[in-house]
Every structure is written in C-alpha cells, then in structure tokens.
Chain A
Amino acid sequence: MTETMSKSAALSREAEDLATRPKIVGASVKRTEDPRLLTGNGAFVDDRKAPGVLHVAFRRSDHPHALIKSIDCDAARKADGVVAVFTADDMSDVNAVFATSRMKNYHATPITALATAKVRYVGEPVVGVIARSRYLAEDALELIDIAYEPLAVVIDPEQAAAPSAALLHDDAGTNVLCSREFRTGDADAAIASAAVRVSGRFRFHRKTPTAMENRTYLAEYEPGRDELTLFTSSQVPGIIRDALSDALDMPGSRLRVVAPDVGGGFGGKASLYPEEIFVAFAARRLGRAVKWTSDRMEDLAATSQAFDEIIDAELALDASGHAVALRAEVIGDVGAYSIYPWTAVLEPVQVVSFLPGPYKIANYLGRVRGVATSKPPTGPYRGVGRPTSTFVTERLMDMAAQRLGMDPVALRLRNMIQPDEFPHRIGSGIIWDQCAFTECLNAACETVDYRGLRARQAAARAAGRWFGIGVACYAELTGIGSRISVAPGMPINTGTETAKIAIDSTGAVTAAFGVTAMGQGLETTLAQVVAEHLGSRVKDIRVIQGDSAAVPNATGSYASRSAVLAGGAATLAAKEVKEKIIRAASHLLETAPEDLVVADGKVTVVGTDRALTFRQLARAVYLEMGRIPADKREELTSTKTYDPVFGTSATAAHLAVVEIDPETYQIKLERFVVAEDCGRLINPMIVDGQVHGGVAQGIGAALYEEVVYNDEGQNVTASLVDYIIPTATEVPPIDVVHIEAESVTTLNGFRGMGEGGTIGAPAAVANAVADAVAPLGIDILELPISPERLFRLIDNRKIHEDSSHGHET
C-alpha cells in the first residue's frame, strides 16, 4: 500500500516536475561556444601552434587540360628557407583514392595529392613546396619550371558529352561520368495529350560555398610512434581518417583526424582534398609538423563547387490545373574529378531525384548525365541538387499558373500532397513521410497577409512599378539512415552515428560524438539533448566532437543529419547512463528506483531533501570502495549508435517580395518569409539562425554568386571582388515561422534543418523577380539573375517586339 502510494506520488511528482520545469530541449539556450569565439580564443586550425612547423605552398596548374612533360624544381629546392619540394613522382608510395559507387554507368576517377602526368583544371596542385615560412614557400613557387603540352580544352558540358569530345580521363572512355533515369508512368504520352504544357531550358550556374575560413590543414607527426594527427578544417574528420588510412597505409589507431573550430563549411569542407593527403604525407616523410593555409584565390579555384546544371523540363497539367506529368533532361557539369566520397553522382542525380517535389504528379521521366569538364569538381553544397530542382519545378508551377490564369499559391495547394495522403511516393521513388507541405505554404501566406500583398502589388503595377511576389515549396530528405545512402550507390555508411557518454570520478559529464560543428552550435544543442535525458545541466556537459578518435566509427556533419543522428545517439546513451545512476543511487540511498528523480545534476528522493550530486555519486561508485558491492558497481558510461534506418524529411515554404528599379535593374528584396517544419526544435534561436544564413546563401545564389570559367578554362571570378556574396545591405529581414510537426520516424521527432534555407530561397527569389517583370512578357530561366542578365532579357524582348511590330506594319 505504502509502496503503491509512494510510486504514484513519485510518478505524479515527476510528471509535475516535467510539466513545470523549463524543458531543456526546445529552449533557446545561449551557446556555450560563444565566449571563446567572441574573445579571440577560438581554436581554428591556423591558430594552432606546432613547434618547428613547416609551411606548404602549391604550384598549381595554369592549364585547363595538358600533359605534364617535365618539372624542374632544382632552383626551388635551393631557395632560401626551402626544406623540400615534392612532385607526384615523390609520392609513389601513397595510394590513389577512388570514390567508388555501386551505381551502373558510373566511372570513378583517381584522386591523388598532386597531378600525375596530366592536369585537368586550372588550379590543380602540381608541386608542393615546403619551407620555413609561408612567405618563403610562396617565393620558391616562382622558381619551378613546368613544361606542359596543352590538350583540347573541355569546358562546355554539352560538347564534352559528345562521343567525339576530347577525354579528360582516358580510363573512363567517356566524359559522361554518370547517367541515370527515373521513370514512373508514361510521361511522354501524358504530356502529348495534356491540356496545358509549360517548359523551358533552365540554367543554374556554377557557384562555390565560400566559407569565411579558407581550408587549412596541419599535420603533426610523432616519429617515435609513427603517429600522425591531422588538424583539418573539415566537416568530415571520420571520412578523412578512413581515406588517409587507405592512402598512407596507416591503421586508424595511429592516425587521428581532428576538426577543431571550423569557420563554416556549407559542404565545401565535406570532401577529401588533395592538399589534405599532401600535408599528411609530407609530415610523415619529413618527420615534422607541416601546415597548409589556403588563400582565398585557392579557395575560389580549388574548393569543391556547386550546381552548374542545364535542365530541359516540361510540366503538363489538365485544364483544371492538376499536374499530370513532368519530364526533365539534365546535364550536370561535374568538373574534372569524381569527388571523394560523394562521387560525381551526388549533385546532378539529386536534381532528378527531387524534381517532383511536394506535388502529386502521376507520370515522371527524369534523365540525368554528369559530365566531366576542365573545372574543379562539384561536390556537396548546402541543399545538394535541391536548390536546382526546386528552382525548376517552382518556376514551372508559376509558369503554369500564369498560363491557367490561376493564383500560384492556389495552384500549388491544388497539386500538393495533402496532409492525409502520406506517406507518398514521388515519381523518382522517394517516399515522403508526414510532411507539412500545405501547412507551411498556408503559414507563409498568413504571415504576409498574402491577399493584401497581392492588392499592394496591383496598386504598384498600376503605378508602373516592378513589384513581385514569389513562393517556393520543397521537401528534403534529412537524417538519412543506413537503408539509403546520402549519395546513391556510395559504399560508405552515412546512416549511423555514435555517442559515448561518461560520468568520470569527479562527477563531470563528457559526451563524445563523431559529428563535427562548423558553426551550427552542436556543442550547445547536443548538450541540451544529453541534459534532457540524463538529468544534468547544459553547462556541466563537455561535448567532444570533430575528433575521429572520439568514437570508433563516424563520418561527420553534412546532409542535415547531426541533430537527428547524433541527437538520437545522445538520447540512447544518456538514458542508459541515467539508468545506471538510478541503480547506484538506489543502493546508496536505500530507496526504490521509482522514488528517485534525476535533474540538474543530482539524484533526489522525491518528497525529501535527500539527494546525491553527480560528484558524490561518482565518488561512491569509483573511489569509495565498499559503498556499493563489487557485483553491483557499474561504470557510469554508455556508448550507443543510432540508426534512423530510412530517416525523415524536412519541409518549408519560402516567400520573397522584390521590387526592381526600372532604371538600374537593381533587384531589391523587401521581405522574406520562411515557414518551416524541422520537427521538434532543440533550440529555436539556433534554428532561426540556420534559416537566416541558409536564406542569405540562397539569395546569393539567386542574384549574385557565379563562378565563371571562360572558353580557355580560366576562372575569371577568383577573388571576392569578382565572386560576389551578399553583405548586410543585400539581405532583407527574414521572418521565420515554425510548424514543428514532429517526425514519427526518428527519436525525439527531430527532422534536421541545416540546408533548407538555401533550397527554397533561389526559387522564391526567381519567382518574385519573374512576377515583377511578368507584365513585360519575359520569364526567368537562368540563375543567378544579375541586373545585366535582366537587362538583356528585357532588352531582347523589346528588340523582338520591335521587329515583330515591324512585320505587322
């Protein structure tokens, strides 16, 4: 009787406690990372002091495609302060790395630190100089003499795909490194008989991630143990560790890869780089610490780039505005190499995978080819494929609405998968779990008073102003588990993450993960998850991340996965440690486990002031022998791996309002709204920040950012003067609305959300600009839409009109 009462009392007390105590998950906890970063005490790779460190500078190819006939390094070797000069010939004992894939019609390409026999893009590393200082290393670069035999330039992806084109990789036998087709129903037939058809040749130009910290690598070597530690500004230290283990024939126990504070990534630091292999090799060869700090020009010329697709797409609808078919032919310019580990497949195939978007379209045909050209490889960039697919599909939706004389929001709501229609399989085979498509779109419209805004637009148009409203809706796969791969056919596992939580003999909590923060505040959010499930305080938890030695297997942070996967693993491990705490405390306090509550770093007997702090408990478990019998003593640790199996999805609707100056063609964003569903929020402040930053990058992609290669294969935008990213005056205030429909397929209901801002914004801005200039009879099919491109479009239209008028008279 007493026991029952006490049990129910404890339960109600705990329920009350949970209800009244401010929840840790869901609170806008200020970041624990901030104090060090605000005071100049951050530890970015280049900040690290290594005794006797040597500095690397690379002589890079100035040819887009050429045979290396000879390299003369004699003068450079003799230069002041130079310790060593290496070419590919010096690195024959380093294994090439291949990004393999199970996908059919795919060709991997060898990745080496330095170009071997041939260069394939301007900026490819050919020779590495190692000197006492970076200044001296760079001085010596000029003394190297390389004789090239130029080969045919391979720049245009359509020409490169032709059978007659010069080949970048003879072993592949083609420049088409991958091709794929998705087919559901009979799109050709459905399009042929449809009442309404809209189509276009869309182009999303090449861009680059441009993290504020350039890539930097520092390898420290202990000759006595043959132990190497690579400090790298990477999002994926686990992947780099495994790849270097293969390249250098070193076991993981003697090879540690650490990503300390990382100054932004956005996908550009999520791949293996030649310079990483080189720095590790050189440190081991020389028995010294070796560092390479990229400059911005190298970053713009040799960090993985993004997008660069040509999409011929057609959408067919019936007379009432129901979409019946979508057909697309995509060419992706993947650059000179198939990037490790993601492969050349990643970006272009995702475009075709996601084109049907949030809509019910019974017939789909999507074909894609990834074509090699003489440019740096494309790789993962925030959103991967989906910024392009969303741009195309959402533009087609607006074009269809215009043709049908329907409101674009109404057309979308008519075609969206409705809340009671999930799960839904789209034409490419992706299955959407419960997604908040209509909820997000309605919420975005409500936030701006959509009808009122349209009325404002009508008045502005009547006054001759170019005022436009654009919406874009999408879903992305997030928190992907082991049953599907982040990149199709990729042989490495991206579907699990591990957390290792330990309470040590001082009572302190350490939580170690294989994921890596590059600005998204994982030290805070993962501590929130641990605190919630362990009963600790956020400030008492030390989070270790970005270290390949922290857990046996990990990859890193990419693909909006860390909250879902590391958060899930943290939950499992924290719960197990909490159970151990309760068992130990139950013994120590001679109280039934049901009567104990763990919160704020202590265990309390409900209804009493009897309590043990974690410190007292840990001392009893580890130090004060005899308090707990040996057979009951458990180490207060847990290591758990979480696999969401399939993963989940995140959804948003973006709405942009623009006004264009008819004199200068300057496009001014007046307002931007995002209604998003990333499931249960861990830290709303951080989620808002991720959305703001993602949208700013999406605005950059829509209006400013373009890597331009000329016909000779030279990058003509290799400085931040020419490659323009948005500043504070270009990004408008951004409203964020959270739908918070918890995922039913992941632990805690998290959905993941790091990328979405960049997926929706380009399409929303493109639609807003198109809407603003719709009265002039032009469409926006190409991004970024610079004032110059807009001017040419309008000017061409005027010329066309003038000439047709000429015919009439």
Chain B
Amino acid sequence: MIEPVTIRITINGDDYERPVEPRMLLSDFLRNDLGLTGTHVGCEHGVCGACTVLVNGDSVRSCLLLAVQLDGAKVETVEGLGATHALHPVQKAFHDCHALQCGFCTPGMLMTTIDLLRKSPLADDEDIREGLSGNLCRCTGYQNIVRAVRQAADELNALKTDEAVS
C-alpha cells in the first residue's frame, strides 16, 4: 500500500489536517473520512455533476479530483449553505419552486447554482439552462430548477440594486 500523505484543507470554514491515501477521491474523502455525506456520487466519471463542490471558488467534480491534490485548498459543500431551519436563499428558492424530487442531484445543483450566481448575470433562462447543463437530474425535467435559479438570481439582483441605492 502506498503511504498516506497528510493534507491541510479548509472545508466550509473548518480546518482539517488528515492523512490520505494518494488515490483517495475528494468525493470519498468528504463522504467517508469526514462524514460529509451531503455531497453525492452519481457516476464517478465526471458526467452527472451530483458530486459538484466548490474548490477555491470554482465548481468542480469531486469524483474527478484526488484529495491529495487539495492540500491548502478551500472547499465549499452543501453542508456549508443553510441549515434545515434557516435555508440559504438558493435552498429556499429550490423549496419554493419544487425544484427537487428525490434530492440526489440537489447538492450538486445547489453548488453549481451558487457558482453561477457569483459569476454570471444569468440574464435569461437560456443562460440558466446552459449553466446547469453539466448537472443531470432525472426527476424534475429541469423546469422547476430553472424557475428556482431564476427566483434566486432575481432576489440576489434586487439585493445588489438595494445596496447600490443605499
């Protein structure tokens, strides 16, 4: 067996120092070593997007990264958004719009949405659909996810406008 390598990693603001086998996937590290099972694994070959997390502010497939590559990185996962009694605006928009059914793709959809909202104006629904096209959902037909992202984007834009005015 190859010797483990110790990494330091910040996840949702918490610092961890852990030995990892070099072949350990980030997705397995999050789920099995740290117990952060909110990040789901749907294909393990980088297509479905269920395992999407943010690494240093960019959305990535955690099934395509090795934990050992992330020494010193800042990772955000679904557990870092809101809590059940205090949902993040994006989570609330998904709840309001019935944008989830089985909930398996949802953490990846949420993290992709967070990334989109930070970086893109999402001027029309085509932008949203394009932005979500790397995340597969088998239950919703995407329609309510698009609505939810639109609601969240509009809320955020309104907030920004308010800030600009005040």
Determine if A34 is an interface residue (Cβ-Cβ < 8 Å).
yes
Q: How far is the CA of A519 from the CA of B144 in the complex (A)?
A: 14
Stretch of B3-11, B67-75, B99-107, B157-165 with 4 or more beta carbons under 8 angstroms from chain A:
B99-107
Q: How far is the CA of A696 from the CA of B144 in the complex (A)?
A: 12
Most buried by A among B47, B110, B132: B47
Q: Separation in Å of the A304 CB from the closest CB of chain B?
A: 15
B residues near A728, Cβ cutoff 8 Å = 128-130, 132-133, 135, 137, 142, 145-146
A residues near B82, Cβ cutoff 8 Å = 38-39
Q: Separation in Å of the A88 CB from the closest CB of chain B?
A: 28
A46 interface neighbour in B37, B128, B139, Cβ under 8 Å? B37
A residues near B79, Cβ cutoff 8 Å = 39-40
Determine if A42 is an interface residue (Cβ-Cβ < 8 Å).
yes
Q: Separation in Å of the B67 CB from the closest CB of chain A?
A: 13
Q: Separation in Å of the B102 CB from the closest CB of chain A?
A: 3
A residues near B66, Cβ cutoff 8 Å = none
Interface residues of A in 712-757 (CB under 8 A from B): 719-721, 725, 727-729, 731, 733-734, 757
Q: Are A261 and B47 in contact (CB under 8 A)?
A: no
Interface size class of A (residues with CB under 8 A): 35 or more
A521 interface neighbour in B87, B101, B106, Cβ under 8 Å? B101
A47 interface neighbour in B37, B44, B101, Cβ under 8 Å? B37
Known A-B contacts A34-B94, A720-B48; the reply to A689 vs B101 at CB < 8 A is: yes
Q: Are A40 and B107 in contact (CB under 8 A)?
A: yes
Interface residues of A in 688-717 (CB under 8 A from B): 688-689, 692-697
B residues near A263, Cβ cutoff 8 Å = 40, 102-104
B133 interface neighbour in A36, A697, A729, Cβ under 8 Å? A729
Q: How far is the CA of A213 from the CA of B51 in the complex (A)?
A: 11
A residues near B138, Cβ cutoff 8 Å = 210-212, 264, 266, 693, 696-697, 725
B residues near A36, Cβ cutoff 8 Å = 84
Q: Separation in Å of the A218 CB from the closest CB of chain B?
A: 13
Q: Are B102 and A213 in contact (CB under 8 A)?
A: yes
Determine if B13 is an interface residue (Cβ-Cβ < 8 Å).
no
Q: Are A696 and B103 in contact (CB under 8 A)?
A: no
Determine if A608 is an interface residue (Cβ-Cβ < 8 Å).
no
Q: How far is the CA of A734 from the CA of B140 in the complex (A)?
A: 11
A residues near B48, Cβ cutoff 8 Å = 212, 296, 720
Q: Are B136 and A727 in contact (CB under 8 A)?
A: yes
Q: How far is the CA of A326 from the CA of B82 in the complex (A)?
A: 58
Closest to B110 in A: A38
B44 interface neighbour in A44, A296, A518, Cβ under 8 Å? A296
**How many residues belonging to B are interface residues under a CB distance threshold of 8 Å?**
60
Q: Are A686 and B98 in contact (CB under 8 A)?
A: yes
Determine if A41 is an interface residue (Cβ-Cβ < 8 Å).
yes
Interface residues of A in 385-431 (CB under 8 A from B): none
Determine if B119 is an interface residue (Cβ-Cβ < 8 Å).
no
Q: Are B87 and A35 in contact (CB under 8 A)?
A: yes
Q: Are B78 and A212 in contact (CB under 8 A)?
A: no
Determine if A214 is an interface residue (Cβ-Cβ < 8 Å).
yes
B residues near A697, Cβ cutoff 8 Å = 138
Closest to B79 in A: A40
Q: Separation in Å of the B9 CB from the closest CB of chain A?
A: 18
Determine if B123 is an interface residue (Cβ-Cβ < 8 Å).
no
B103 interface neighbour in A38, A80, A757, Cβ under 8 Å? A38
Q: Separation in Å of the A762 CB from the closest CB of chain B?
A: 14
B residues near A262, Cβ cutoff 8 Å = 102
Q: How far is the CA of A210 from the CA of B137 in the complex (A)?
A: 10
Determine if B81 is an interface residue (Cβ-Cβ < 8 Å).
yes
Q: Separation in Å of the A751 CB from the closest CB of chain B?
A: 20
Q: Are A37 and B106 in contact (CB under 8 A)?
A: yes
Q: Separation in Å of the B152 CB from the closest CB of chain A?
A: 12
Q: Are A30 and B96 in contact (CB under 8 A)?
A: yes
Q: Separation in Å of the A761 CB from the closest CB of chain B?
A: 10
Known A-B contacts A39-B78, A212-B50, A212-B104; the reply to A264 vs B133 at CB < 8 A is: no
Determine if B91 is an interface residue (Cβ-Cβ < 8 Å).
yes
Q: Separation in Å of the B118 CB from the closest CB of chain A?
A: 19
B residues near A733, Cβ cutoff 8 Å = 143
Q: How far is the CA of A403 from the CA of B141 in the complex (A)?
A: 35
Q: Separation in Å of the B148 CB from the closest CB of chain A?
A: 10
Q: How far is the CA of A44 from the CA of B106 in the complex (A)?
A: 13
Q: Separation in Å of the A760 CB from the closest CB of chain B?
A: 13
Interface string of A202-240 (1 = CB under 8 A from B): 000000001111100000000000000000000000000
Determine if A149 is an interface residue (Cβ-Cβ < 8 Å).
no
Q: How far is the CA of A520 from the CA of B101 in the complex (A)?
A: 6
Q: How far is the CA of A60 from the CA of B47 in the complex (A)?
A: 23
Q: How far is the CA of A248 from the CA of B59 in the complex (A)?
A: 46
Q: Are A719 and B47 in contact (CB under 8 A)?
A: yes
Determine if A685 is an interface residue (Cβ-Cβ < 8 Å).
yes
Closest to A33 in B: B103
Q: Are A213 and B133 in contact (CB under 8 A)?
A: no
B residues near A721, Cβ cutoff 8 Å = 45, 47
Known A-B contacts A212-B138, A692-B144; the reply to A41 vs B84 at CB < 8 A is: yes
A39 interface neighbour in B24, B84, B145, Cβ under 8 Å? B84
Interface string of A469-491 (1 = CB under 8 A from B): 00000000000000000000000
Q: How far is the CA of A697 from the CA of B94 in the complex (A)?
A: 21
Q: Are B37 and A519 in contact (CB under 8 A)?
A: no
Closest to A31 in B: B98
Q: How far is the CA of A696 from the CA of B101 in the complex (A)?
A: 14
Closest to B81 in A: A39
B residues near A729, Cβ cutoff 8 Å = 129-130, 133
Q: Are B143 and A734 in contact (CB under 8 A)?
A: yes
Interface string of B15-59 (1 = CB under 8 A from A): 000000101100000010001111111111101101000000000
Q: Separation in Å of the B11 CB from the closest CB of chain A?
A: 12
Q: How far is the CA of A295 from the CA of B94 in the complex (A)?
A: 28
Q: How far is the CA of A720 from the CA of B77 in the complex (A)?
A: 24
B residues near A296, Cβ cutoff 8 Å = 42-45, 48
Q: How far is the CA of A733 from the CA of B94 in the complex (A)?
A: 17
Determine if A102 is an interface residue (Cβ-Cβ < 8 Å).
no
B residues near A47, Cβ cutoff 8 Å = 31, 37
Q: Are A34 and B100 in contact (CB under 8 A)?
A: yes
Q: How far is the CA of A47 from the CA of B91 in the complex (A)?
A: 20
Q: Are B140 and A693 in contact (CB under 8 A)?
A: yes
Q: Separation in Å of the B53 CB from the closest CB of chain A?
A: 11
A40 interface neighbour in B42, B78, B100, B136, Cβ under 8 Å? B78
Q: Are B140 and A689 in contact (CB under 8 A)?
A: yes
Determine if A49 is an interface residue (Cβ-Cβ < 8 Å).
yes
Q: Separation in Å of the B6 CB from the closest CB of chain A?
A: 19
Q: How far is the CA of A214 from the CA of B137 in the complex (A)?
A: 13
Q: Are A49 and B35 in contact (CB under 8 A)?
A: yes
Q: How far is the CA of A613 from the CA of B94 in the complex (A)?
A: 34
Interface string of A507-526 (1 = CB under 8 A from B): 00000000000111100000
**26 A/B residue pairs, CB under 8 Å, sorted by A:** A38-B82, A38-B100, A39-B38, A39-B84, A42-B103, A42-B104, A212-B102, A214-B42, A264-B101, A264-B139, A295-B43, A295-B44, A296-B48, A688-B144, A689-B98, A689-B101, A692-B144, A693-B139, A693-B140, A695-B141, A720-B45, A720-B136, A727-B133, A727-B142, A729-B133, A734-B143
Q: Contacts A212-B40, A212-B138, A728-B145 given; 17 further ones with Cβ under 8 A? A: A33-B103, A34-B94, A40-B79, A41-B38, A41-B84, A47-B37, A49-B35, A135-B23, A211-B104, A212-B42, A212-B139, A263-B40, A264-B138, A693-B101, A693-B139, A727-B133, A728-B146
Interface residue ranges, A against B (CB under 8 Å): 30-31, 33-42, 44, 46-47, 49, 80, 135, 210-214, 261-264, 266, 295-296, 518-521, 685-686, 688-689, 692-697, 719-721, 725, 727-729, 731, 733-734, 757
7 closest A-B pairs by beta carbon, nearest first, are: A40-B38, A37-B103, A263-B104, A519-B102, A692-B141, A696-B141, A519-B101
